[in-house]
Structure 1
Amino acid sequence: MESKRQQKMASLLQQELASVLQRDLPHLFGGGLAPSISLVKMTPDLGQARVYLSLLLGNDADARLALVRDSAKEIRQALAKRIRKTARVVPELTFFHDDSAAYAAHMDGVLGQLHIPPAPPAAPDAGEGPGELPAPRPRLFKGE
């Protein structure tokens, strides 16, 4: 369970890293679309951040992730310029590929291929037919 401090810092880093990748360092991706940041997890001492990138467009996700990992120092410096008055220490950044969108699409395809027959019609209970009264409920107290 993350503390409120970790959650606040993770939220700040997620917003600022998105701005850094899209506005400050667009040259890293050769004019292509910058990856979106799906999740940031902080260590309790706020010294390290695990950044999960969603690399949806393009089939060269491994190459783009390697490019981001190679540019981690430059990204951290640009991040430091943005959060220098908010955070005491700029955390070390470790980047990971978030493939949850691809997994969700795969599972959607698997579920779409399943053949599930419709449920059989429910048989009426013995005591409650269309014209019959329901069985009386048991009394718990005298005044009921």
Structure 2
Amino acid sequence: MESGRDKAEVFTLAEVSKHSSREDCWLIINGKVYDVTKFLEDHPGGDEVLLAATGKDATDDFEDVGHSATARAMMNEYFVGEIDASTIPTKVKYTPPKQPYYNQDKTSDFIVRILQFFVPLAILGLAVAVRIYTKSE
């Protein structure tokens, strides 16, 4: 397929996923489909990076790397069409599992404050006692 056509062809995710080998590698980035087969050997990150991004929307992978303006301009050369967005699964927002209610006020504030005061004081007293004991021997 050639780039620069007047009307972009629309592909489904299933169609794009069929192109996932070194001999035929297509990627989806920002709703567009790119045939990067000829670019695999020249990709600075190696061909494995591109091959790992096939069969899914690789937009996040592409953006996370922080490609240069030159790299973005090169993409036009590999453009083959648009993706039918309805064929890409929506990202599911992570919802943590329900936790049993934890009552942070089980221990009264007063007891915590007393412990915060007396524990360091006890450690200091113990250190002084050990020092006096070892000095007197």
TM-score range, shorter chain: under 0.3
Q: TM-score, normalised by structure 1?
A: 0.27
Structure with the larger RCO, 1 or 2 (CA within 8 Å, 6+ apart): 2
**Greater share of residues in helix:** 2
Rg larger for: 2
Q: TM-score, normalised by structure 2?
A: 0.28
